[in-house]
A and B are shown apart, each in its own frame.
Chain A
Amino acid sequence: MREKVMKSRLSVAIAFAAGLLVCAAFLLNQNVSAAGEGKITGTVKLDGPAPHMKGIDMSKDPYCVKAHANDTPHMENVVVSTNGALQNVVLYISEGLSGNAFQPATTVPVFDQKNCVYTPHVLAMDVGQTFKVTTSDQTAHNIHPNPNPMTGNIPWNQSQPPGAPPVEKSWKAPEFIEVKCNIHPWMHGWFAVVKGPYATTDENGNYTINNVPPGSYTVTAWQETFGTQTQKVTVASGAAAKADFTFKGK
């Protein structure tokens, strides 16, 4: 009789311990992928001939000419690879995210002035997310974003001479902000300020928007010359939804 009781108590104890382990595993797993977040992934292509990007005459600054001794710099309004893949397209969720849940991403993306061009050409970020502007050049630049003050984003203009420390800033409102250098008039880039998770296409036209809670959304693709396109996607828990885009050449 005592043996039976002991056996049953043991099995209860084992079951309890097992239960605890399962709970622990589940709880620990929550931190890694909160509530089964998914992603949106895809490719952006250009249909049609790539527009000709003008070569840049940097002769006003011998430092810039020297930096491009082995390559010919071109304007970067449309950067497309041989198989039509579009780089520098910003993808973000324009509808479907509940407003209260928005928290800006905590990484600090960097916009560098290198060889008298901006790298990357388009820097995507959240409203309120801190970003950094650095200079890798031994020639003076000034970093001059030009938002529309009516949006709540106020223009500022800071010098970046050789050896200058990074400039850290953030923006108040969603906007696609043109950035330029007054010293080197060909330098032209963008700060793409959005709300919620975002991604930028790489040289293969591929992107992945991570940390997307399960739900139905509208994804917008923005390219500086071709404008925007939207697509509806549904993201299942822990899964990847696909959204490819094709912009038509002019």
Chain B
Amino acid sequence: MKTALQTWTLCLGAAAVFALPLASTAQLTKYDFETRMNMESHVGNITGHARDGAADYHRYCESCHGVRGDGSGEVAQWFDPPNFPKPRDFQLGIFKCRSTPTGTLPTDMDLFDTIARGLDRSGMPQWSTFTKQERADLVAWVKHFSPRWVNEKPGTPIQIPPEPEVTAERVKAGRDVYARVQCWKCHGVTGEANGPSASTLQDDLGRPIAAYNFTEGSRPKCGSSDQDIYRIFMTGLDGTPMPSFADNIKPDEAWDLVFYLRALMTQPSKEKALAQQLGLKPVDPNAPAPQP
């Protein structure tokens, strides 16, 4: 027959055993929640605050990106990849449009620009109606979904050298880069996204995805300026088959490639005119691989 004291000690001990892990979990969750609710963004001289972005997110973003930011909003079910990609899962902290190297977080400015630019050929509109402060607040709220921003700093933005003059030699040299690193395997020799590997492309979540079709006329998702195009292939589009070519293309050659890509696009340009003057033919996929 146990004494009352023994029974009480046993009860308190058991309670402590159960309560202790709960207490520590509660503390961890509270700390994490507090940190993430206090998430900030810094864009130029504007500071965005997550708590201030929550209401706009709820009103404008949640229907696609979901209340937990995991891309499972109410209308996401009707998005049909590859022609209409699914909304991004912000919990993973992986983004296509970055000025930073592959495998690193984007800068706040990268996210800020993506919201304003929108993404052609997707459900992401150009959110041009927000003020800069509202957009910065939204960036902070988008960041708060992923634990990566709590401990990890964004990557260092890549250096883009000044753009040189467009010349016929450079457009031709750009075609040589297109041949050497074999962009045509996915993007096709004419840039029509009909390369031999195009039909089996999948994103990191196993969904079908299409390579960019340079001849189609709509803008690349991560920007349409020459600098944007430079940045796209020198940082890669994380979460997709598009790799970073930073270790395989020298900065000067990269500008040549940008000019050749312009020549592939439908819009009239100096590059396109020069390519036509040169009588530049598409890359021959059966030719032996050029060496670096």
Task: Write the residues of chain A forming the contact surface with B, with a CB cutoff of 8 angstroms.
Answer: 60-63, 138-140, 142-144, 146, 149-150, 154-165, 167, 182-185
Chain B hits for A164, CB < 8 A: 247-248, 292
Judge whether A161 and B201 touch: CB under 8 Å. Answer: no
- Kindly identify which residue among A157, A183, A184, A185 contacts B238, using a CB–CB cutoff of 8 Å: A157
Chain A hits for B148, CB < 8 A: 149, 154
Judge whether B247 and A158 touch: CB under 8 Å. Answer: yes
Judge whether A158 and B102 touch: CB under 8 Å. Answer: yes
Judge whether A183 and B288 touch: CB under 8 Å. Answer: no
**B 225-266 binary contact with A (CB < 8 Å = 1; else 0):** 000000000001011111111111000000000000000000
Number of interface residues of B (CB under 8 A): 38
Judge whether A156 and B103 touch: CB under 8 Å. Answer: yes
What's the nearest-Cβ distance from chain B to residue A54, in Å?
Answer: 15
Known: A162-B291, A164-B248, A183-B185. A149 touches B243 (CB 8 A): no
What's the nearest-Cβ distance from chain A to residue B75, in Å?
Answer: 25
A63 to B236, CA, bound (A): 25
Judge whether A161 and B181 touch: CB under 8 Å. Answer: yes
- Kindly identify which residue among A60, A61, A149, A157 contacts B241, using a CB–CB cutoff of 8 Å: A157
- Kindly identify which residue among B92, B239, B243 contacts A158, using a CB–CB cutoff of 8 Å: B243
A142 to B186, CA, bound (A): 12
What's the nearest-Cβ distance from chain A to residue B85, in Å?
Answer: 16
Judge whether A155 and B236 touch: CB under 8 Å. Answer: no
Chain B hits for A62, CB < 8 A: 286
Known: A149-B94, A155-B239. A140 touches B247 (CB 8 A): no
A137 to B288, CA, bound (A): 12
Chain A hits for B243, CB < 8 A: 142-144, 157-159, 182
Chain B hits for A183, CB < 8 A: 182, 185-186, 197, 241
A102 to B92, CA, bound (A): 29
Chain B hits for A182, CB < 8 A: 186, 197, 201-202, 241, 243
Judge whether B103 and A165 touch: CB under 8 Å. Answer: no
Closest to B184 in A: A140
Judge whether B182 and A60 touch: CB under 8 Å. Answer: no
Judge whether B238 and A155 touch: CB under 8 Å. Answer: yes
B157 at the interface (CB under 8 A from A): no
What's the nearest-Cβ distance from chain B to residue A206, in Å?
Answer: 35
Judge whether B289 and A162 touch: CB under 8 Å. Answer: yes
A182 to B197, CA, bound (A): 8
What's the nearest-Cβ distance from chain A to residue B181, in Å?
Answer: 4
When A and B form their complex, what is the total count of cross-chain residue pairs whose Cβ atoms lie within 8 Å?
Answer: 101
- Would you list 25 pairs from A and B whose C-beta atoms are within 8 A, ordered by A residue? A61-B185, A140-B182, A144-B241, A146-B204, A149-B92, A149-B148, A150-B92, A154-B148, A155-B103, A155-B239, A156-B238, A157-B102, A157-B242, A158-B246, A158-B247, A161-B181, A162-B289, A163-B291, A164-B248, A165-B247, A182-B186, A182-B197, A182-B202, A182-B241, A183-B241
Interface centre among A140, A149, A159, A184 (most CB of B within 10 A): A159
Closest to B245 in A: A159
Interface centre among A143, A144, A146 (most CB of B within 10 A): A144
What's the nearest-Cβ distance from chain A to residue B90, in Å?
Answer: 11
Chain B hits for A157, CB < 8 A: 102-103, 236, 238, 240-244
A160 to B93, CA, bound (A): 25
Closest to A167 in B: B247
Closest to A184 in B: B197
B196 at the interface (CB under 8 A from A): yes
**B 189-201 binary contact with A (CB < 8 Å = 1; else 0):** 0000000110011
Chain A hits for B94, CB < 8 A: 149, 154-155
Interface centre among B244, B245, B248 (most CB of A within 10 A): B248
Chain A hits for B239, CB < 8 A: 155
- Kindly identify which residue among B104, B241, B291 contacts A142, using a CB–CB cutoff of 8 Å: B241
A91 to B242, CA, bound (A): 34
Interface centre among A139, A150, A162 (most CB of B within 10 A): A162
Closest to B239 in A: A155
A234 to B29, CA, bound (A): 39
What's the nearest-Cβ distance from chain A to residue B244, in Å?
Answer: 5
* 10 interchain residue pairs of minimum CB distance: A156-B103, A182-B241, A140-B182, A142-B243, A162-B289, A161-B181, A159-B243, A157-B243, A60-B196, A185-B200
Chain B hits for A154, CB < 8 A: 94, 103-104, 148
Judge whether B291 and A159 touch: CB under 8 Å. Answer: no
A163 to B241, CA, bound (A): 20
Known: A144-B241, A157-B236, A159-B243. A139 touches B102 (CB 8 A): no
Closest to B147 in A: A150
Closest to A159 in B: B243
Known: A149-B94, A156-B103, A161-B182. A185 touches B197 (CB 8 A): yes
